[in-house]
A and B are shown apart, each in its own frame.
Chain A
Amino acid sequence: GENVEQHPSTLSVQEGDSAVIKCTYSDSASNYFPWYKQELGKRPQLIIDIRSNVGEKKDQRIAVTLNKTAKHFSLHITETQPEDSAVYFCAAASGNTPLVFGKGTRLSVIA
Chain B
Amino acid sequence: NAGVTQTPKFRVLKTGQSMTLLCAQDMNHEYMYWYRQDPGMGLRLIHYSVGEGTTAKGEVPDGYNVSRLKKQNFLLGLESAAPSQTSVYFCASSYSTTYNEQFFGPGTRLTVL
Contact = CB atoms under 8 A, between A and B. Distances in A.
Contacts, number: 50
Contacts of A96: 98
B29 interface: no
A105 to B, nearest CB: 10
Nearest to B44: A101
How many A residues are at the interface, by size bracket?
20 to 34
A44 B45 contact: no
Interface residues of B, number: 20
Interface in A63-88: none
Interface string B11-52: 000000000000000000000010000001111110010000
B104 A45 contact: yes
Q: Which 4 A-B pairs have the closest CB atoms?
A: A43-B104, A103-B42, A101-B43, A93-B98
Nearest to A90: B42
A40 to B, nearest CB: 12
A100 interface: yes
Contact of B99 (A1, A42, A95): A95
Interface of B: 33, 40-45, 48, 58-59, 90, 97-99, 101-102, 104-107
B40 A99 contact: no
Nearest to B99: A32
A99 B102 contact: yes
B90 to A, nearest CB: 7
A72 B23 CA distance: 34
Contacts of B45: 98-100
A45 B104 CA distance: 7
Contacts of A46: 101-102
Given A43-B104, A43-B105, A100-B59, A95 B43 contact: no
